[in-house]
Chains A and B, each alone.
Chain A
Amino acid sequence: MADVVFLALSVITIGSAIASLEFRSLIYGSIALMGTLGGIAGFFLLLDSPFVAMFQLAVYVGSIAVLILFTVMLVKRELIFKKIEDKRRKFVGIALMLIFITALGSVIMDSGIKSITTDEPAVDFRTIGADFLIYYWPALILMALILSGSVTGALVLARRENVENDQRTD
């Protein structure tokens, strides 16, 4: 059963990844990208980690894909993209990708992935949280500082009090 689901997910993920590169329409390309990201969320579900899967959906499909869609809709395609049909580039790209995949695959296969037992229960998200707070707390605090700094910066940048006051008619 899981094998069928795994194959279907692989087809969806890889197929929509290729489609997102090959579609002429940018909108359809970004929809296909959503399919890829959703397929990865499906892999996480298969790997018994629904917590990561849901965050994958919420963050990547729900936010990143929306940002890409938004950007694509606001630009005129002809202004930034020129049609370059170059067969050689395509083949070089495919060859590079194959080399990369084989290299990465051989590294992963040589690591201890084969000795992992697969019938263990799923990791509870509370354990992840406890690990974050006990072992990885410096990283967590660093991430929190960077994120809060960037959010504050974004808010400050987005604040346009003077302009807004000028635009008001009353």
Chain B
Amino acid sequence: MSVIAPNFKFSEFVKSILDNAFWMLLIFVLIGLPAVFIALFYIEMPVIDGQLLTPFLALTWLADPSRTIPILKAFMSTDLFKIAAFPGFGFAALIAAGTIFVERKMLAKLQLRVGPFYCGKFEGILQLMGDGLKLISKEIIIPAKADKPIFWAAPILFVATAAAFVALIPVAPGWVVADVDVGLIAVFAIIGFFPIITILSAWSSNSKFPFIGGIRALHQMVSFEIPLILSLLGVVILTGTLNLSEIVVSQSNFPWIIFLPIGAIIFFITILAELERIPFDLPEAESEIVAGWLTEFSGMIYGLVQLGTYLKLYAFAALFVVLFLGGWTGPMIWPPFPEDIITNGITIGPITAKIPGLPIFSQEMLNGVLWFVIKTVGVIFFILLPRGVFPRIRIDMLLSLGWYKLIGLAFVNIFIALGLLYAGVLGPGGILQ
């Protein structure tokens, strides 16, 4: 029971919101609407198509789908929509939120626990919302001798860097925020920012556990970046491009995991290490160093770091899908938009509404998004799974794994790719393409 509101009841909370809405509506009707009409009396409204633009006419137009669908389509082709909603931040945050809930529930089931249960009527489905509300309402405590500017900036930079990573991921044909020619190099450049932000936030909190965790994170991320970059070179050698969309298009016949399984395995292991997930969660080892570099974060600062972590998880899983599993390619299973509606319109009783501009999304795009989400969710599942199974390994084992085994295997993978290229099997001018 919280101390601030000992008699908190959710029903009364809802009632208070409804009360407020009622009073706002009442005041708007009694004062706002007359004020608007008085103002309209003095303002000259424009005449459009021989009709005076009254508020009623404007509302009628807003309800007319043949006028609103083009506006909607135009909005969806803007950069703002791409950055904020669909292939960018909103879509990724939605998947990240789903990941957090599924992770907690699935780990609980793996370990024969119940997991989130009480929040929401069904299996704790509202737990995530409750946690979010809790994090927003909590006080942000900053250690007394912390370096305040860096301490405040680090979580925001963390989320921003993760969002920049998300922006490079192509979700469906043409649906990518930043379609750059050097996409894969840009990914490497962005990944390089995470250890800096981690070590700066760890240092700025001026506390020993975060600093130990930050140093561990730095070791781990910097040493696993090398096998990560090397493991992806095989794909670049075979496709001859660095653009992520072109890499996806090159896999229309078969995904690269068939020919480069070693590279895929190395990349998966390095993903686990870069995301600081079990068995490589040394920077956040909660049984050794409290919570590692997250120890001093509280309230919404912690929430931001968590959001960034899960955005990063989605981005890495999506990158695996794009590079090795063929991205959005897959058999066409999405049903086509009914021709009848396009040609004849929708008939409801006596009314026939012809709506030009449908369908809003093309069949290829919806099918691509469906396949992309299915594959990404599968990869995320495999990233989550080790957390319920494996113990944490020692840091010397981690570093020797990264420096000796993975780098050696990455070179084996590069030689396989080169062999396939020079044998004329794959690549530009190969037999299979």
Contact = CB atoms under 8 A, between A and B. Distances in A.
Given A50-B181, A54-B186, A155-B404, A61 B203 contact: no
A66 interface: yes
Interface string B398-411: 00000110000000
A27 interface: yes
B429 to A, nearest CB: 15
A34 to B, nearest CB: 7
A27 B203 contact: yes
Nearest to A151: B407
A34 B186 contact: no
A63 B196 contact: no
Interface residues of A, number: 22
B256 to A, nearest CB: 20
B218 A51 contact: no
A16 to B, nearest CB: 15
A158 interface: yes
A65 B196 contact: yes
Interface in B140-156: 147, 150
A164 interface: yes
B237 to A, nearest CB: 11
A35 B195 CA distance: 16
Interface in A138-159: 155, 158
B200 A31 contact: yes
A50 B180 contact: yes
Interface string A61-104: 11101100110010000000000000000000000000000000
A55 B200 CA distance: 22
A62 B211 CA distance: 19
Interface in A32-65: 34, 50-51, 54-55, 57-58, 61-63, 65
B242 interface: yes
B379 to A, nearest CB: 24
Contacts of B182: 50-51, 54, 125
A53 B218 CA distance: 23
B403 A155 contact: yes
Given A51-B182, A125-B182, A125-B242, A69 B188 contact: no
Interface residues of B, number: 27
B199 interface: yes
Nearest to A27: B203
B119 interface: no
Nearest to B394: A168
Interface string B277-292: 0000000000000000
**Is chain A's interface secondary structure helix, strand, loop, or mixed overall?**
helix
B185 A58 contact: yes
B222 A63 contact: yes
A66 B242 contact: no
Interface string B299-336: 00000000000000000000000000000000000000
Interface string A14-27: 00000000000001
A34 B240 CA distance: 31
Nearest to B192: A62
A34 B193 CA distance: 11
A54 B182 CA distance: 8
Interface string B19-34: 0000000000000000
A34 B218 CA distance: 17
A99 to B, nearest CB: 35
B189 interface: yes
Nearest to B204: A27
A66 B403 contact: no
B196 A158 contact: no
Contacts of B189: 54-55, 57-58, 61-62
B396 interface: yes
Nearest to A124: B181
Contacts of A158: 403
Nearest to A69: B199
B199 A66 contact: yes
A31 B197 CA distance: 10
Contacts of B211: 73
Interface string A106-144: 000000000000000000011000000000000000000
Given A62-B188, A66-B192, A70-B215, 16 more contacts: A27-B200, A51-B182, A54-B188, A57-B189, A58-B192, A61-B189, A61-B192, A62-B193, A63-B222, A65-B196, A66-B199, A66-B218, A69-B196, A73-B199, A73-B215, A126-B240
7 contacts: A58-B189, A62-B191, A62-B193, A66-B195, A66-B196, A73-B199, A126-B240
8 cross-chain pairs, A with B, having the tightest CB-CB distances, nearest first: A62-B192, A57-B189, A54-B185, A58-B189, A54-B189, A58-B188, A50-B182, A51-B182
